[in-house]
Amino acid sequence: MKDKNEKIIYIGKAKFLKDRVRSYFTTPYSPKEYILKSKIESIDYIVTNSEIEALVLEANLIKLHLPHYNIRLKDDKKYPYIKVTIQEDFPRVFSTRNLKDRNTIYFGPYTNVKTMRRAIRSATNIFPIRICKGKLPSHVCLSYHIGKCPAPCEDKISKKKYGETIQELIAFLSGKSKEVEKKLKFKMQKLSEELKFEEAAKTRDQLKSVQFIAKKQRVVFNRPIDLDVFGLQRKKNIACIVLVLVREGRILGTEHYILHIQSKVVDGEIMRAFILQYYKNAFYIPREIILKEIDEKEMIERWLKRKFVIPKRGEKIELIKFAERNAIVWLETENKVNYSPPKILEELKKYLKLLKLPVCIEAFDISNIGGKYAVGSCVSFVNAKAQKSKYRRFKIKTIDGINDVGMMKEILSRRAKYKNFSDLVLVDGGIGQVRAARKYIPSQIPVFGLAKKFEELHTPDGKIISLPKDSMSLRLLQRIRNEAHRFAISYHRKLRDKPESLLSEINGISKQRKEILLKHFLSFNKLKQASISELKEVSGIGEIYAKEIYNFLRLI
């Protein structure tokens, strides 16, 4: 259904299209139908071969056009997935928001990016796979020497063996920890019998890691059952659905999804619309899906080839209630986004003589040591609270040596490409940094520098503003500035503390020698613990270099 501007405002399906369309123009009709009747200018239709084909097409078109009067996931295109590139000879695992590749496996969508990254990190720590992008490189990298990659680029692992690792990783991401444990135990036993003790020890460590993660999961069933449990809560035009993932009788985790709805739509229709969007790209779907109600239950069961269970009592209804309680919490959080801004922002507007309330504030900072490992940070605060999803960090690429102003110019120029600056921009520093920032930020957005020495605000035209030392406004700006500094320095330390970065600080240690050292000792920690005599045993490392390395590593 389209409006007068040919914009799609509603997409639906029907077994008997004539009856369905007529319902929008005859009384009595629902509030949604009443509104649609006044907006509809034209109707297009597509004939499909079956109801299930129509069901899938409806879900695809809703996701493509996001019609105003359809139930849809809020910010649906922004949800990240875990992608496993099984179409490659040596697959990779990474996060993505692009679902265009068909011959891949996707896990998600995830609403909590930290949870997703933690899952990837845990999986790749337990099951080492290549992390390089695109095609295989021509030679091994540092990841191989520190045990993070099996080096398929130099045929140090066969395609078959690598494939087995990927299958174990996929099972782990699917929540099949018992299945993974069973395979690892069998593999460890077989390697021991073949007297391959080093490989058996690695498999044992993998097994312990899987068992440790499984122990942290809450057991809700005394049998290995897989379930997806959904709970729904709603308020006005917003609904929240919480998914509880139960794998092998354990709660693997929860995800929450916010949906735009019409106020009078029934719960069964909300759940139907969500299920279509959620499972469309799913790799693993458990045999049972638990919920309170859903429209067109039998048809969606035929489409998914799974069973929907609507329990009345017992453990499963308790899990639904658990999901609903969590949904209430997320709904309250969502509604708080629109609360009236804190008084502190009104005070800040008054002191700085701003034209509009600084609801969104961005702050930038630089961190380096003598120009080395230089990085920049950008933090964002909304309604005086940190919004970490908008944090950004920058590795300085064009500036050598000590030049904080030049570095500030670089990160602001890179940030400017994304546009949509906040209501107020804060930089750490004085007049130099402020003027550097002013060149890249639109003229209508105020820019200030907050220098640590006297805690004064600098403007691009050279003026200095002193806020009352006991004011909440100054404390807020200090907190934002300090958070930008913390975020920058944490990234700086991360770069600086990489083994290859640390070893580069030693005079005469070339890239080749770094690789030889790490390959010989297998890990950086073992290298740090090595004695001078042990270092001298490494090829290309004589007594002078051994002493140099030994003394340097004792200082860090």
232: pLDDT strictly greater than 90: yes
243: region left, alpha or beta (phi > 0 left; psi from -120 to 50 alpha): beta
The CA radius of gyration of the chain, in Å to the nearest whole number, is 29
Indicate the pLDDT class of residue 555, thresholds 50, 70 and 90: low
* Paired residues of 363 in beta bridges: 379, 426
215: pLDDT strictly greater than 70: no
Mean pLDDT of the chain: 82
pLDDT recorded at residue 361: 93
Q: Which domains does the chain have, with CATH numbers?
A: 17-69 (no CATH), 78-217 (no CATH), 227-262+281-336 (no CATH), 343-489 (3.30.420.340), 499-553 (1.10.150.20)
371: pLDDT strictly greater than 80: no
Helix (H/G/I), strand (E/B), else coil: 469: coil
Q: Are 359 and 341 in contact (CB under 8 A)?
A: yes
Using CA atoms, how far residue 11 sits from 55, 61, 188, 273, 503, in Å, is 11, 7, 54, 11, 60
Please name which of 248, 485, 475, 446 lies closest in space to residue 352, comparing C-alpha atoms: 446
Q: Are 386 and 399 in contact (CB under 8 A)?
A: no
Please name which of 475, 451, 446, 459 lies closest in space to residue 347, comparing C-alpha atoms: 475
77: pLDDT strictly greater than 60: no
pLDDT digit string, tens, across residues 374-409? 889 999 999 888 888 889 989 888 887 788 888 888
Helix (H/G/I), strand (E/B), else coil: 369: strand
First to last CA, the chain: 67
Instruction: Return the higher-pLDDT residue of 28 and 277.
Output: 277
pLDDT digit string, tens, across residues 275-296? 988 888 778 888 899 999 999 8
177: pLDDT strictly greater than 60: yes
pLDDT recorded at residue 271: 92
Which of 27-41, 96-110, 344-358 has the highest average model confidence (pLDDT)? Answer: 344-358
**Half-sphere exposure at residue 214, Cβ-oriented, CA atoms within 13 angstroms:** 19
Q: 211-215 long-range contacts, Cβ below 8 Å, gap at least 24?
A: 211/177, 211/181, 213/122, 213/177, 214/177, 214/178, 214/181, 214/250
pLDDT digit string, tens, across residues 35-44? 777 788 888 8
Distance CA 378, CA 450 (A): 15
What value does the mean pLDDT take over residues 527-547? Answer: 78
Residue 85's contacts (CB-CB under 8 Å, 6 or more residues apart) are 91, 92, 93, 101, 104
pLDDT recorded at residue 442: 86
User: Secondary structure of 237-279 in the HEC alphabet?
Assistant: CEEEEEEEEEECCEEEEEEEEEEECCCCCCHHHHHHHHHHHHH
pLDDT digit string, tens, across residues 178-204? 778 888 888 888 888 888 888 888 888
Using CA atoms, how far residue 41 sits from 8, 13, 29, 67, in Å, is 10, 18, 18, 15
Q: Are 248 and 284 in contact (CB under 8 A)?
A: no
Pairing outcome for strands 447-451 and 424-428: parallel
pLDDT recorded at residue 132: 81
Distance CA 520, CA 442 (A): 54
324: pLDDT strictly greater than 90: yes
Distance CA 418, CA 429 (A): 23
pLDDT recorded at residue 472: 87
Q: Are 293 and 268 in contact (CB under 8 A)?
A: yes
Residue 555's contacts (CB-CB under 8 Å, 6 or more residues apart) are none
What value does the mean pLDDT take over residues 79-96? Answer: 86
Distance CA 232, CA 326 (A): 9
pLDDT digit string, tens, across residues 472-515? 889 899 999 999 998 988 887 776 656 555 566 566 666 677 77
Pairing outcome for strands 227-235 and 288-290: parallel
